[in-house]
Structure 1
């Protein structure tokens, strides 16, 4: 079962952005802290190594400046060497010989509470370093952990050590201050990111909220509202899809309403006739047979009306037609054979385009037969009916055209735009036949379902031409020749 979150999408988006940004900043700060601490330790180790290597080189090559000879005591060795050194901040160099310590003035550091820590005065630390079998390491002091290195030295049977110490706490505290400032800036950036994420999430979700507001306003009787589309991104595409869905629903609702209106209007007459006949029904057998015959006719008429209305309503559905590749020349030959069986008058196939197209052959044939039936009804008996297919170009668009031409009375210009409407017939034809006026509406539905249109050309007293036209690109027409009719 699907569950819904009580937290709004806007809050969830902002929270996820805040979480991912916060985790990224945290990882960045931790990595920066590790790198900075590593750099401090690496710099301390490098300084210690450099100092011990310099001292080892001095003991091998150094001369006592007072005698010009090799040093005879560790005291003079340390005094000369240490007098030439200039330790960096946080660095202490201590010489230990005969239990005495010789050191520089800056062999000190400040503790976290501001007190001065002098390494030579803390003999327990020096003793721990001297007694260590390792040449270097880390030891805890009141001034924090320090890194140290030592060099064993002997002169004239004296043994001693040069001890180099790096106080890293001062630099670490500076780094920690930098990290603290970076953390504060990151927190400020996180707050700013949260505000931006909140605003941006609101802007992104505004079309969705607009869709929701529109959906709440839509009623069963009015679905004319549409969502404004202000962007071309995914959310804008969603709004367009929602509007397209509303268009389809509105068309379906209009089709349903039109069907109900047409059915109620057209069925009222036969129902009234049936009721009137039944009210007059008596016991006379002849009268009863006549009445039942009239009732049967009216019921059949109602059935035809309902069937035609349902067909028109279905023409609005996407599955109304089932297109397949059709050989157009064979189609026209088959159509000619069918027309020959309708009436003995001449049926003249004037033109048949060669090639294939994706159409619903059954629906197309149904439309052309409706045109032919109209020609039979409204043209003089025995007059020829001409028909055919061709490729034409109208307004720069190549069309596949099917047409039927009769020699009937023709249709006035002001009536031509109406004859494809439901229950509509031209004034010149109303007295010629008692049809329902649905046939041409069905033809128009078939044409629209194929992506085309139905058309009529007529001159009063000279006959009419009815046709269907389909854009070649829509029906995927593939010609056998490239000839185009004028």
Structure 2
């Protein structure tokens, strides 16, 4: 015989704290579901807010780049158009001198903030001379004050570019003025300093990060409260599971709402219902077996203790002991069948022809005793039921009728169908059942007083088995008085 180690009840940790799980290396802290949900929520929120801020900054930066490129292209296009179509206001003719062209054009322009419009004219002595608008640009080192930068732009073969300097980058575009096939004599340069535009984008980015931080703080508080409210039924499930014992399976979880948590509580309550029924069936099986087997065991022991050496006495004792052992075997089989009735596979429905089933039951019942057996009604239709269990129930009813009738008395067997309802019945012409015994006879080990007699040697489990089979099919067993005297048992399946 093996024994199982005793289990100590587990206590639950308060909401929002960490649990301790014991391992081979000692206690290990475990985050609660509430904390894990909050951490995942914060992680997702942080990633989402960072993505929004980064994407917004990228869009703003691209907008700045597009605007600067558009401004450079526009200014360069205006100068190129003026070079092709413009006239010198003093002569009324096209420009012949590059410096005159640049000066007249620049006098008619007004640069935007952070923008420089510069004219560069080649000189034999070295770097290009410059012609600028009479205005300053609010930057650390404007282009018109940086000879090296002007020279690099003038000598560049590219029409546009970016000049990187320690004081800040310059984005520029130029239009060269040169005779056909000759070297450039002059160039118009439009330069833009993007530091302040970039600074505004960075400021927006920092504001978004600050807002995201505040949103994360608010999310932390709200998420903590919401997670606690959502997980409250889960904590109730956990508490109820920790407090369950074999002696107390009556605790249930209150179900509120119609969400997944409510469905979890309903499922847990249904599991507790099944456990309670299973334990009740187990206890009832043990109680019934102990109660009913005690008598035959006492009889067997008494006969064996009093058995003498006389062969006839020994033969009679063996016969009585064998009879009691057979009775105990039948009781155990009936109790096991009733215990199995709680299982979902107790019945296995299948399509069955009622006419064929009724005829089979009638043929089997006729062998139970010399009675006036009559097959009165036959339902000619198909039904979903377990033919073996239904046959077992009907034969048990027929056996019960045989026990309470005498030779030659009538026992009728039949089946009826009305809509979705199916009825199979066994009617006898015996003494009937007293009104006060109508519910009693379906209980285990109970028999009606009016029908108890010398022929009733059963343990009182037959009608309990019939009731279990009916309920396994979702039906019920009913009792009526037979016309002319007797009892009619009707197995009703809806």
**Same fold? TM cut 0.5:** yes
SS of equivalent residue, structure 1 residue 191: helix
Q: After superposition, give the CA deviation of every residue in 1:75-94 in whole Å (9 maximum; x if it has no partner).
A: 43333211211111111101
Is 2:199 aligned against 1:176? no
- Counterpart CA distance in 1 for 2:174 and 2:400 is 117
1:190-269 to 2 correspondence within 5 Å? 190-269=216-295
Q: Count matched residues.
A: 459
SS of equivalent residue, structure 1 residue 372: helix
SS of equivalent residue, structure 1 residue 54: helix
Match of 2:443 among 388, 413, 421: 421
Match of 1:405 among 424, 427, 431: 427
- Counterpart CA distance in 1 for 2:322 and 2:69 is 113
Q: Which residue of 1 aligns with 2:142?
A: 118
Please report how far the alpha carbon of residue 444 of structure 1 lies from its aligned counterpart in structure 2 after TM superposition. 0.8
Instruction: Check conservation: 1:207, 1:235, Cα contact below 8 A.
Output: yes
Q: Which residue of 2 aligns with 1:46?
A: 70
Q: Which residue of 2 aligns with 1:360?
A: 386
Q: After superposition, give the CA deviation of every residue in 1:369-418 in whole Å (9 maximum; x if it has no partner).
A: 1111111121343121112111136xxxx311100111122222222111
Instruction: Check conservation: 1:107, 1:119, Cα contact below 8 A.
Output: no
SS of equivalent residue, structure 2 residue 101: helix
Instruction: Check conservation: 1:91, 1:107, Cα contact below 8 A.
Output: no
1:54-453 to 2 correspondence within 5 Å? 54-97=78-121, 98=123, 99-111=128-140, 117-153=141-177, 159-392=185-418, 398-431=420-453, 433-453=456-476
- Counterpart CA distance in 1 for 2:203 and 2:371 is 106
Please report how far the alpha carbon of residue 215 of structure 1 lies from its aligned counterpart in structure 2 after TM superposition. 0.9
Pick closer, same or farther for the CA change 1:80–1:194 going to 2, 3 Å.
Answer: same
Match of 2:46 among 19, 22, 27: 22
SS of equivalent residue, structure 2 residue 38: helix
Please report how far the alpha carbon of residue 439 of structure 1 lies from its aligned counterpart in structure 2 after TM superposition. 0.6
Q: Which residue of 2 aligns with 1:458?
A: 481
Q: After superposition, give the CA deviation of every residue in 1:52-104 in whole Å (9 maximum; x if it has no partner).
A: 11111112222222332333544433332112111111111011235432222
- Counterpart CA distance in 2 for 1:130 and 1:51 is 17
- Counterpart CA distance in 2 for 1:43 and 1:76 is 30
- Counterpart CA distance in 2 for 1:435 and 1:271 is 16
- Counterpart CA distance in 1 for 2:217 and 2:301 is 80
- Counterpart CA distance in 1 for 2:95 and 2:49 is 58
SS of equivalent residue, structure 2 residue 30: coil
Please report how far the alpha carbon of residue 220 of structure 1 lies from its aligned counterpart in structure 2 after TM superposition. 1.7
Pick closer, same or farther for the CA change 1:229–1:106 going to 2, 3 Å.
Answer: farther
Instruction: Check conservation: 1:409, 1:460, Cα contact below 8 A.
Output: no
- Counterpart CA distance in 1 for 2:61 and 2:317 is 110
Unaligned runs of 5+ residues in structure 1 are: 112-116, 472-486
- Counterpart CA distance in 1 for 2:402 and 2:335 is 23
- Counterpart CA distance in 1 for 2:52 and 2:258 is 36
- Counterpart CA distance in 1 for 2:110 and 2:360 is 112
TM-score by length of 1: 0.88
Please report how far the alpha carbon of residue 41 of structure 1 lies from its aligned counterpart in structure 2 after TM superposition. 1.9
Pick closer, same or farther for the CA change 1:196–1:106 going to 2, 3 Å.
Answer: farther
TM-score by length of 2: 0.86
Q: After superposition, give the CA deviation of every residue in 1:140-167 in whole Å (9 maximum; x if it has no partner).
A: 2454111111122259x99222111011
The 4+ residue runs of structure 1 with deviation greater than 4 A are none
Please report how far the alpha carbon of residue 40 of structure 1 lies from its aligned counterpart in structure 2 after TM superposition. 1.5
SS of equivalent residue, structure 1 residue 16: helix
SS of equivalent residue, structure 1 residue 354: coil
Q: After superposition, give the CA deviation of every residue in 1:414-454 in whole Å (9 maximum; x if it has no partner).
A: 22111110011112122352321111001111111222111
- Counterpart CA distance in 1 for 2:302 and 2:81 is 134
- Counterpart CA distance in 2 for 1:322 and 1:64 is 108
Q: After superposition, give the CA deviation of every residue in 1:231-254 in whole Å (9 maximum; x if it has no partner).
A: 433333333222222222211111
Deviates more, 1:409-418 or 1:338-347: 338-347
SS of equivalent residue, structure 1 residue 71: coil
Instruction: Check conservation: 2:113, 2:137, Cα contact below 8 A.
Output: no
